[in-house]
């Protein structure tokens, strides 16, 4: 019987402390300020579980559909 190597995927936990999205749309328009505030607030409240720091930006952008201009975060564990 062959030896099976089992590895568990350990995700890191991140808390976003500040974020700036690129909310500019075509024709230099922007979504409402209420919408922008809601997306930012939801981002800050969520604990993000990803493989590493590099994946954090991709995960947030994929979740909300907006590019990120800047991002600050802390590692929780």
Q: Does residue 17 fall inside a structural domain? A: no
Number of domains in the chain: 1
Q: What is the pLDDT of residue 25?
A: 81
* Whole-number CA gyration radius for the chain: 16
Q: Indicate left, alpha or beta for 48 from its phi (over 0: left) and psi (-120 to 50: alpha).
A: beta
Walk along the chain (77 residues) and give the pLDDT tens digit of each residue: 454 545 557 899 999 999 999 998 877 788 999 999 999 999 999 999 999 988 999 999 999 999 999 999 999 97
Q: Does residue 62 fall inside a structural domain? A: yes
Q: Does residue 8 fall inside a structural domain? A: no
For the chain, what's the residue count? 77
Q: Domain containing 45: what range?
A: 27-75
Q: Does residue 38 fall inside a structural domain? A: yes
CA 72 and chain centroid, separation? 10
Q: What is the pLDDT of residue 1?
A: 46
Q: Does residue 43 fall inside a structural domain? A: yes
Q: Does residue 1 fall inside a structural domain? A: no
Q: Does residue 3 fall inside a structural domain? A: no
Q: What is the pLDDT of residue 50?
A: 96
Q: What is the pLDDT of residue 74?
A: 97
Q: What is the pLDDT of residue 8?
A: 56
């Amino acid at each position: 019987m062959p030896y099976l190597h089992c590895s568990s995927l350990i995700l890191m936990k991140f808390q976003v402390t500040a974020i700036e999205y690129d909310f500019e749309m075509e024709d230099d328009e922007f979504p409402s300020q209420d919408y922008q505030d809601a997306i930012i607030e939801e981002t800050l409240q969520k604990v993000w579980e990803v493989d590493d720091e590099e994946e954090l930006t991709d995960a947030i952008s994929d979740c909300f559909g907006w590019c990120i201009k800047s991002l600050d975060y802390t590692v929780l564990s």
